[in-house]
Structure 1
């Protein structure tokens, strides 16, 4: 059989498309396909850890190394030898179950000989060694099947020609225990086991599945729960070529074979390897490389070659030594649009796209003259002018004088594959929401930018941008609204910066900007000020207006770090400083920032363990009736007694708890502890009003607050009317139905609801009137100025009047002076709390205060 029409070297070949011939050199050895990387383990490695290593490496075997010497090999087949019903199995070491001695194969073994050895010895892995006994790699049956140059033969042969109808696949039911199924595979010496499900469908359990289950220490499940289901199947008329391709693409080793829609059997890589006959491989090699012997091939083989030439999916073009086309196959016409009659006798440059430079063809012809072979990718042009990407193999064929007389080109249209690859590359390096570079691409560009700046002695400005209150917007309006906001922010950033600047999204609401070739720091400050202004404002999302601001941290290369990771960390630190200074601003990195950042990190790490170590405690501040001075409840205030740092201010750790979501379990603990203490005071007669507990925004939005409150009341036995929950003004103004439903359910339970720090937010009075609330608390900042500041006095009077008109109880917090108390009494404020009466105290000190108060009242 011959496809080779021999061709004298013409002027440089154009990018005439010639597709991929089966790459079958005269003597192709296994050295060309083995990977030098050997995955190994020590004999003492546990079988579970070995299975994890094999799974992570996506390999079928581990070489067992002891003192640099291979003492065995542990394969997927060896995993079948384990008794999954015995828990002690998972404690075995590889030494107990490995195969030994290790079978080796020389590195210069040909493909054909390797295929024969695999078949003769019945193994799936060889250790490849060189002349000095050095280890060169592992060769598997899969390597031979995936790299065997027998495409033409494989396309002509169908699955039913290698499927033995007498050899039925081993099968079991889906409810069979896993350990029994594995035992059955071991006893029957099979690579795979069919699993029959009640719906008459089939799955498959393979040796690779067993390794995965071993890595996960899975043993007490029915086989149907862990088998691959359903089994990937193809009709029995499918060619071996397509079957091999499908096995490779799906990363599997077995395919079901269907006969009239019914499962007739299973074929594997081993079956395909067996089917590649040694003489056909040699015949194709001989046909492509030896013109003289090819002319003497029998008429039968010539007919086979003609059939392959006509039916192959790859385009084939044969030219003479001057590049004049002598013949093409139907696939050539299908791909290029040219009929055979339109191209025979014309030069191959008819397909030239003009996209390859002259240097491209010079290198191509150097390879052809020296090696008689060239392989690679290029662009060509169809008859209708459309460009297509192709993978091309050109083989030079010599005449009896030893000169190249013809060239055979085989090509495959890979345009769609390249488009898919480019799309995958884009998705791997870009944020799918905004289209901006993601963290991976950003770090690559930052590394290149620092390298350029180092060479040129220039500076780089790195900005770390974080949106203020984004979590609140995302939680209240939903993730879809959050995504739209992020998209808008990305567009504002791109429109504000230069094309040469890199804008990236690292994740969430974190963006970064790389400014290259900056003249001085003032230039960076100018850009940062411009960005703060651009990002500050109203964004309309789903018919609602959202006010957005951003905080920006800036690090300068090389002053603030030469490594990209250091530069990014310092910009992030500067951003947090911008947030600490009121947000909606930018800050340059300074060395002292790392100290505060590390302190915050240590505090957060300690806070994670504070609950379990009983370091948190509650202090209570009494609330009194201002007109009579009678006790009317308490407010529970959390404190943290750190074993090394002592009492940590809530202003330090509450924001950390909010950011890390620790506020939910901490808030739940506060609720249960405060209710239990309130019940004790109620039983003693020291609770005449209510116990007030502050509720965070995250508790209201992310936790099941109603259930938590119900649980605290039930466990403590505290009546619901004795509990008061304080929420911030911004939480109360959250207009989502979910928030309103939660407040209504709490109110229906009998719990009192109060808006804390009233007057500091942006309340809608019409919405306030509809809220299921019982009271307002005047923020301490207004109370502090009622005597000296007319504005604070006016606001305080307005809040008291508003509460009275709406039928709400009003409490003034932060009363510290007698003049403040006199003002509040004069305005009719019913309740108050503050240092004027007493500071927040722990239970023991507060009990003493209550006892002293009772003695004082008794004395009068």
Structure 2
């Protein structure tokens, strides 16, 4: 496969040969004794020095108006025996490169001989000789077009801009040589052009960004251009002291092959290690050729390009292609390669290995709470801690997001993987210090072992992933070894997630409503709307199963919007029927609350349903409102300005700051059911419930207790001056039809049915 280096090498070599061709043609103009001698030399030099396949000269016979082959040289000159060329544009044989160049007086370049319509008349003949590219350059004498210099090659696209310029220079030199034989006065002009050409050549050499050295057979450096002094970091005199052997790293194993190729063919092009003046090695592309000077001395030209920077960038790109930009850990590509190598080694040696799939628990909440910048810092610090827990021979890789893979080659037993897993969990469990706050993480780890759990990388990854999800399902912050039944559980989880995506449009979601009761007057104050999923085949799916799934999959936003619109529409209808006068409460997740369009979603739900804002209560948890306080306060103030009531749900389970709590525009605290369940006998629960109620009263807030199941709990909370409650004692969450019956019954009896 041809690489960029191969293409660059070929280009440098081709230009070097064309420079040599130009130089030799210059000398041929001065040394030739006749027109035919000059043209024959030009064709021979183009093939031998320029490495073109065939060259020939077409000359115009003025009296007959025909074209003759004056001179030719190279492989395939037999092609000219059958070729027909005309000067007339009307003649198809006059529309090719040679006829056009002779007629119009400009160079004609054909980079794809066999597909160029201009060469259609010669395709069949050209195919026999393998022509892929050709060029025709007009030759002039005394201002008249007298012929054309033609080149043929067996490779496409051989004429780039520099090559065209050099071939044009060659044609110009030959043209002036022809003029020399037409008129003696043209000799002086040819010499002037020669000097100009050499000046231009010298200018190219002087301004080249590549080093150009001319060396003698004994290795002496005869001349060096400024770029050589810059690349080798020394003066010309210092370069000459070094000599050819002093600038080439003879320890490079490629040198021997390069010398052999140059001895055999007279030239070499390729990559070698060169040495700067102070001995520092650097990679270079070298093109060198042996040629005979006009005095008969054998000289060697060396064209040297420093590719250190390109090599550095290539190495950098290769590194970036295999490493994660955030953590600098190997990415999935490099991990897979190392895992394949570890498996191959294990197969040969009979050893075992383990693959761990680690997922940071609830990292999405960290991102939502603190923002992506702090989330990235968490990932970087977590990666550093994990890296400190594994051996140098192990591979820790970030797969993206909060997922990491760890390859443990050559383990003695599964217990060894268990030991590493415990170290990883311990490392994650230590709080991360991030400026003015600490973040505590945990991880879920799935472990698959070779060869028991898979004999290839894909199988091991899939099974470690399945084991990781089981670890999450079992409560997180643990590791789990793979077992064959886990794939079924993984498939079930993925299937359920797919079903959830279709649940909204499939009318499988519905709302259940739980009444909220004034504990003093036994009066209905409102309803809490709770999402439920009636799966067509699995039945009722618990909220604690599908709500986290919705949050992890990004479905919580459309589900949340549906809950909000449905609850508002139903509440508006019941108020219109006179069944209720209070509020409907809707839970808002962290992800919903932080959506940029959250206010618009709420306003849209109210507008579409016709529900007055004072009849809507939004419940948020402490974790939602205790971070990014400026933004939270702005959102809460906007909601309150619309007339919406706000409450803190599950109060007491988070880490609220009282100084911030009193600033929030909320009207109610909801005591979490975990505290209510222990009442009245559990002293800690009683103390917490009493403290929350007292706090609420002091802040001028209402307090509602969740999870009331017994009369004893109700009476105790009422004795503490708790305002309201909800729970199974009053009613379980009910679908809308059952809730209608409840509302009518409650309205009649003014108390819940027993």
TM-score by length of 1: 0.65
Superposed, which structure 2 residues align to 1:173-572 within 5 Å? Answer: 272=161, 275=164, 304=197, 307-308=200-201, 311-312=204-205, 313=208, 314-344=210-240, 347-353=243-249, 356-357=251-252, 359-397=253-291, 406-572=299-465
Q: Which residue of 1 aligns with 2:76?
A: none
Q: Given the alignment of the two structures, is residue 600 of structure 1 paired with residue 625 of structure 2, yes or no?
A: no
Cα distance, 1:513 vs structure 2: 2.2
Q: Deviations over 1:626-668 (max 9, x none)?
A: 2343222111011122223232221221111101221111111
Q: Deviations over 1:36-92 (max 9, x none)?
A: xxxxxxxxxxxxxxxxxxxxxxxxxxxxxxxxxxxxxxxxxxxxxxxxxxxxxxxxx
Cα distance, 1:685 vs structure 2: 2.0
CA radius of gyration, larger in: 2
Q: Deviations over 1:765-789 (max 9, x none)?
A: 3322222211122222222221453
Cα distance, 1:283 vs structure 2: 11
Measured at CA, do residues 338 and 808 of structure 1 come closer, stay the same or move farther in structure 2, by a change above 3 Å?
A: closer
Q: Which residue of 2 aligns with 1:573?
A: 466
Q: Is the 8 A contact 2:329 2:398 kept in 1?
A: yes
2:537 aligns to what SS in structure 1? coil
| Match of residue 560, structure 2, among 667, 671, 695 | 667
Q: Which residue of 1 aligns with 2:177?
A: none
Cα distance, 1:434 vs structure 2: 2.3
Q: Distance in 1 between matches of 2:752 and 2:691?
A: 39
Q: Is the 8 A contact 1:477 1:736 kept in 2?
A: no
Comparing 673-682 with 609-618, greater Cα deviation is found at: 609-618
Q: Is the 8 A contact 1:783 1:813 kept in 2?
A: yes
| Match of residue 620, structure 1, among 513, 517, 522 | 513
Cα distance, 1:275 vs structure 2: 4.9
Q: Is the 8 A contact 2:640 2:646 kept in 1?
A: yes
Q: Which residue of 1 aligns with 2:51?
A: 26
Q: Is the 8 A contact 2:707 2:727 kept in 1?
A: yes
Q: Which residue of 2 aligns with 1:245?
A: none
Measured at CA, do residues 752 and 565 of structure 1 come closer, stay the same or move farther in structure 2, by a change above 3 Å?
A: same
Cα distance, 1:476 vs structure 2: 2.5
Comparing 845-854 with 736-745, greater Cα deviation is found at: 845-854
Q: Deviations over 1:511-546 (max 9, x none)?
A: 222222222211111112112111222222243332
Cα distance, 1:373 vs structure 2: 3.8
Q: Deviations over 1:700-745 (max 9, x none)?
A: 0124222222222222222222111111122132343111211122
Cα distance, 1:824 vs structure 2: 2.4
Q: Distance in 2 between matches of 1:646 and 1:484?
A: 43
Cα distance, 1:606 vs structure 2: 1.7
Cα distance, 1:620 vs structure 2: 0.9
Cα distance, 1:582 vs structure 2: 2.8
Comparing 299-308 with 704-713, greater Cα deviation is found at: 299-308
Q: Deviations over 1:314-348 (max 9, x none)?
A: 22233344444344344323322344444447642
Measured at CA, do residues 309 and 512 of structure 1 come closer, stay the same or move farther in structure 2, by a change above 3 Å?
A: farther
Q: Deviations over 1:352-400 (max 9, x none)?
A: 447x44x332333343344444332233222244443211123345899
Superposed, which structure 2 residues align to 1:65-214 within 5 Å? Answer: 114-115=110-111, 117=113, 121=117
Q: Distance in 1 between matches of 2:582 and 2:559?
A: 25
Cα distance, 1:693 vs structure 2: 0.6
Measured at CA, do residues 281 and 613 of structure 1 come closer, stay the same or move farther in structure 2, by a change above 3 Å?
A: farther
Structure possessing the higher relative contact order (Cα contacts under 8 Å, 6 or more residues apart): 1
Q: Given the alignment of the two structures, is residue 583 of structure 1 paired with residue 583 of structure 2, yes or no?
A: no
For structure 1, the residue ranges without an aligned partner over 5 or more in a row are 7-21, 30-111, 151-267, 285-297
Q: Is the 8 A contact 1:694 1:725 kept in 2?
A: yes
Cα distance, 1:456 vs structure 2: 2.3
Q: Distance in 2 between matches of 1:424 and 1:329?
A: 32
Measured at CA, do residues 835 and 543 of structure 1 come closer, stay the same or move farther in structure 2, by a change above 3 Å?
A: closer
RMSD: 4.1
For structure 2, the residue ranges without an aligned partner over 5 or more in a row are 1-17, 25-46, 55-107, 138-156, 174-189
Q: Distance in 1 between matches of 2:701 and 2:675?
A: 19
Q: Distance in 2 between matches of 1:127 and 1:851?
A: 96
Q: Distance in 2 between matches of 1:274 and 1:754?
A: 79
Q: Is the 8 A contact 1:3 1:309 kept in 2?
A: no
Measured at CA, do residues 855 and 562 of structure 1 come closer, stay the same or move farther in structure 2, by a change above 3 Å?
A: same
| Match of residue 682, structure 2, among 786, 789, 792 | 789
Measured at CA, do residues 465 and 304 of structure 1 come closer, stay the same or move farther in structure 2, by a change above 3 Å?
A: same
Aligned length in residues: 620
Q: Which residue of 2 aligns with 1:760?
A: 653
Q: Is the 8 A contact 1:325 1:348 kept in 2?
A: yes
Q: Which residue of 2 aligns with 1:51?
A: none
Q: Is the 8 A contact 2:271 2:284 kept in 1?
A: yes
Q: Deviations over 1:437-459 (max 9, x none)?
A: 22322222222222222222222
Q: Distance in 2 between matches of 1:24 and 1:433?
A: 54
| Match of residue 627, structure 2, among 720, 723, 734 | 734
Q: Deviations over 1:465-506 (max 9, x none)?
A: 322332222222222222222222222233333222222222
Q: Which residue of 1 aligns with 2:715?
A: 822
Q: Distance in 1 between matches of 2:389 and 2:268?
A: 48
Q: Is the 8 A contact 1:476 1:736 kept in 2?
A: no
Q: Distance in 2 between matches of 1:282 and 1:23?
A: 16
Measured at CA, do residues 859 and 440 of structure 1 come closer, stay the same or move farther in structure 2, by a change above 3 Å?
A: closer
Q: Distance in 1 between matches of 2:586 and 2:695?
A: 23
Q: Is the 8 A contact 2:746 2:752 kept in 1?
A: no
Comparing 501-510 with 686-695, greater Cα deviation is found at: 501-510
Q: Distance in 2 between matches of 1:281 and 1:418?
A: 35
1:548 aligns to what SS in structure 2? coil
Q: Is the 8 A contact 2:370 2:628 kept in 1?
A: no
